[in-house]
Amino acid sequence: MKKATVGAVVVGAATVVAVAALVARHRMKKSSKWTRARAILKEFEEKCATPDAKLKQVADAMTVEMHAGLASEGGSKLKMLISYVDNLPTGDEAGVFYALDLGGTNFRVMRVQLGGQDGGIIHQEFAEASIPPNLMVGTSEALFDYIAAELARFIGEEEEKFHPPPGRQRELGFTFSFPIMQTSINSGTLIRWTKGFSIDETVGKDVVSELTKAMQRQGIDMRVTALVNDTVGTLAGGRYSDKDVSIAVILGTGTNAAYVERAQAIPKWHGPLPKSGEMVINMEWGNFRSSHLSLTEYDHAMDTDSLNPGEQLFEKICSGMYLGEILRRVLLRMAEEAGIFGDEVPPKLKDSFVLRTPEMSAMHHDTSSDLRVVGDKLKDILEISNTSLKTRRLVVELCNIVATRGARLAAAGILGIVKKMGKDTPRESGAEKIVVAMDGGLYEHYTEYSKCLENTLVELLGVEMSTSIVFKHANDGSGNGAALLAAANSHYVEDKSGK
């Protein structure tokens, strides 16, 4: 009997030891996996680092590329496109003007009534329409006829008080967000379609001429007085309300910048010098590249898998289209190598672009004690349930690394423009005020990103210059800005009353 009892005790003890060893092994395995996850994070953080010295090198490289792009066509990865906008709104414009904004599969028509000096924008109204998929791949005539028909409907429904007097044409600013070679303030030929459009016969044609012919077919007596892109429109909208606005930056799905340059500082400009002595330059800065950019293996892999490998590298690390995707790629590696979401890699995590930047922003801004928003987003988007608080904190850390790098590099880009304009150092008369008109969903809604960008630029400019920089949210450059440019370039500019 005693032998049996002793045997049972021995077996029981052995079982306890075995279970304890199993638990210890499990803990060690879990601990080593967590160590691996932290190592991946640390390596990523180091490669994304943007110390001030590096940002100043990026700014200098931006300035060098700007000079090269202004010197000759194709002289730089920065296109530095001449916008032909040499008259920005002054605030004195009066009358009723229209805008047509074709930015993708949707378009808007808008009417803006301006009240002249001190009057501002008295009234604005717009209508939206989507373009049927068959027209995106049909004929040029069919597409522009559809757009002109919507414009005719919008005008047909307006009150009589907006009608122009006899003998006066309505005037329109046309925002056309596709690659064009601008040939004057109100003409430009299409280089290529993007965003799902494919109408070969339009390529090489003047898009203003195509729209004008369609308006004539619809019986609309209207003249396009300005062909603009949304960044130039943002600059115009900003200048209308603040005469010190000289730079515009869009940070949304993509990113771009425009600024006011001295006409004499544009060697590739061969036309007569404008009366204003100035010219707005559309930089197309998304294509900027430099050896000083903080690129990681995740960025290179994303670029390789993209529709435009080797292009738009600056955009791919700064803009809303890509920040969430960079985060997804780092999380995927952590899931594969460190099992942060369990033994199985969540299938959804393998889907490109499944994690969008608005969701990343929501997780980054989560201030709840248990990071509930992070848990909900991981569950809803990636179908990952029961994440630990430790894992959620790791996700927030990664959001911060990705957003901080993007925001700080965008700030360095703006510093490059400020340096090119010669406004980066104080003058004897004191620091010159620099107002940057900002627009885009990323800037507007991702608070941590925009705060970081603004603080970084102030930091880079130094104490003496820090009070001279002002950021101004200039909403709807592609609509309001286009109408304002139509007004600034009106053929009836002498008629200040608008009657």
Return the structure tokens found at 473.
């949210």
Q: Give the DSSP letter string of 415-454.
A: HHHHHHTT-SS-BTTBPPPEEEEEESHHHHH-HHHHHHHH
**Pairing outcome for strands 187-190 and 121-130:** unpaired
Mark whether 366 is an active-site residue. no
| Residue 225 burial by Cβ neighbours in a 10 Å radius (0-12, 13-18, 19+) | buried
Q: Tokens 């001295």 map to which residue? A: 262
Supply φ then ψ for residue 21, to 5 degrees. -65, -40
**Alpha carbon distance 210, 191 (integer Å):** 14
Whether 69 and 88 have beta carbons less than 8 Å apart is answered as no
User: Comparing C-alpha atoms, which of 279, 268, 274 is closest to residue 246?
Assistant: 279
Q: Tokens 């928003």 map to which residue? A: 373
**Alpha carbon distance 284, 140 (integer Å):** 26
Catalytic one among 30, 42, 195, 390?
195
**Alpha carbon distance 316, 320 (integer Å):** 9
Count of CA atoms in the C-beta half-sphere (13 A) of 178: 27
Q: How far is CA 430 from CA 246, 424, 459, 464, 465, in A?
A: 18, 12, 18, 9, 9
Mark whether 376 is an active-site residue. no
Catalytic one among 145, 206, 230, 366?
230
Instruction: Give the number of other Cβ atoms within 10 Å of residue 53's Cβ.
Output: 8
**Alpha carbon distance 423, 150 (integer Å):** 45
| Residue 106 burial by Cβ neighbours in a 10 Å radius (0-12, 13-18, 19+) | exposed
The 3-class secondary structure across 227-250, one letter per residue, is EECHHHHHHHHHHHHCCCEEEEEE
Return the structure tokens found at 33.
């996996």
Instruction: Catalogue the active-site residues.
Output: 195, 230
